[in-house]
Amino acid sequence: MTNLYLPKEIDIGILSETELILLNTLWGLFLNYPGPDKQRVRFVKALVFSYKQHTKTHRKSGETYFIHDLRLTVQALLSGADLSVAIIMLSHEFKEDDAWTYHRLAMNFGKEIAIIVCAASKPPATFATREERLDAYLDQMRQAMAKDGSWWKILFEKLFDRHDNVHDTAGLNARTKRILFTETEQKLLPFFHEHLSLIPPSLLKYCQRAIFEIEYACANYRQSLVCKKRKSQRLARLT
């Protein structure tokens, strides 16, 4: 079985069924995936760090961050992107949530990945409003991608991160859902469309489909609000 080849640091006995299925899927893809030895070593290192840091921390939905990391990385490998993108997916929360520095990222994964992970991480929450912080974050990513066209990987990471977020909402309360979908429609989707031309042609259709699926999730959310409002109105008339 695939898990016989996993790094010794990973104890599959503590993993949930979902984590184990995703991990085995990812490892099976990785074993047959092309890439230089240096990147393969970095991939394993990122996987182990993700496992150590994210199997006991949970997202607002209730799932572990490890599940989120695994889903994004599986998406990266299924898309055909190079291994550096998979490493970025595994490590994309390390700076923002685990307090990694640029230096630590560069020492473990190389300078390019360190730059991309830092650019794709939200700035500190020192702004007057949530909207100001989000606008600064989008500008931060724009400026990084403008410096080097090869840093389209920032966009790729953010796109699939948001794609996962809008499809992982079961445990979210009404306010958090409203913020998620409003920001996605008003801020993130325009950002994705604005920079889609940076994506390599071989990955373009994959990214276009992800954008469509995000738009569809937003439309479903809006429709659910309409249905709830109509239901409330009907109940009000009955009483």
Of all residues in the chain, the percent with pLDDT exceeding 70 is: 98
pLDDT of residue 3: 47
CA count, 13 A, side-chain hemisphere, 224: 10
Structure tokens at 147: 């410096």
Q: What is the pLDDT of residues 114-165, one digit of tens each?
A: 999 999 999 999 999 999 999 999 999 999 999 987 789 999 999 999 999 9
- Quote the distance between the C-alpha of residue 235 and its chain's center: 40
Taking each helix axis from N to C end, the angle separating 111-119 and 130-147, rounded to the nearest 10 degrees, works out to: 150
- Evaluate if residue 105 carries a pLDDT over 90: yes
pLDDT of residue 232: 77
pLDDT of residue 170: 86
pLDDT of residue 179: 97
* Residue whose token pair is 């992107």: 81
Q: Of 2.40.37.10, 3.40.50.11540, 3.40.630.40, 1.10.3210.10, which CATH number belongs to 13-238?
A: 1.10.3210.10
Nearest to 150 by CA among 48, 60, 82, 102: 82
pLDDT of residue 62: 79
Q: What is the pTM of this model?
A: 0.92
pLDDT of residue 227: 85
| Average predicted confidence (pLDDT) for the chain | 93
- Evaluate if residue 235 carries a pLDDT over 80: no
Cβ burial, residue 147 (10 Å; 0-12/13-18/19+): exposed
